[in-house]
Amino acid sequence: PSWRAFFQGFDFGIENGEWPAEVSEVAVPESVKKEFQVVKLIEGYRTRGHLFTKTNPVRNRRTYRPNLDVENFGLSQDDLSTIF
């Protein structure tokens, strides 16, 4: 098959040869936004949570302060009791 035949089908979705004048945006529910913030918080603990541990009995770990507060991820203390 030639590429010409492949690309000829692209214009079938355009009615009367014109693109839509305006694309409407869909409002994202607040619960969905919060759920994505929770995913970011979990990822933060996955990538930086080890900095809170004491795994070496011989010497102390350097003091790190990874900022994993829920407020930094767009969440509040009230969100901690919400099931996502």
Specify whether the CB–CB gap between 48 and 77 falls below 8 A. Answer: no
What is the per-residue pLDDT across 17-62, written as a single tens digit (0 to 9) for each? 666 667 778 888 999 999 999 999 999 999 988 877 888 888 887 7
Specify whether the CB–CB gap between 75 and 41 falls below 8 A. Answer: yes
Identify the residue with better confidence: 27 or 64.
27
What is the per-residue pLDDT across 11-27, written as a single tens digit (0 to 9) for each? 666 656 666 667 778 88
Specify whether the CB–CB gap between 49 and 73 falls below 8 A. Answer: no
pTM: predicted TM-score of the whole model, two decimal places: 0.60
Q: Which of 42, 35, 40, 45 has its CA nearest to residue 66?
A: 45
Give the integer Cα–Cα distance in Å for 44 and 25. 30
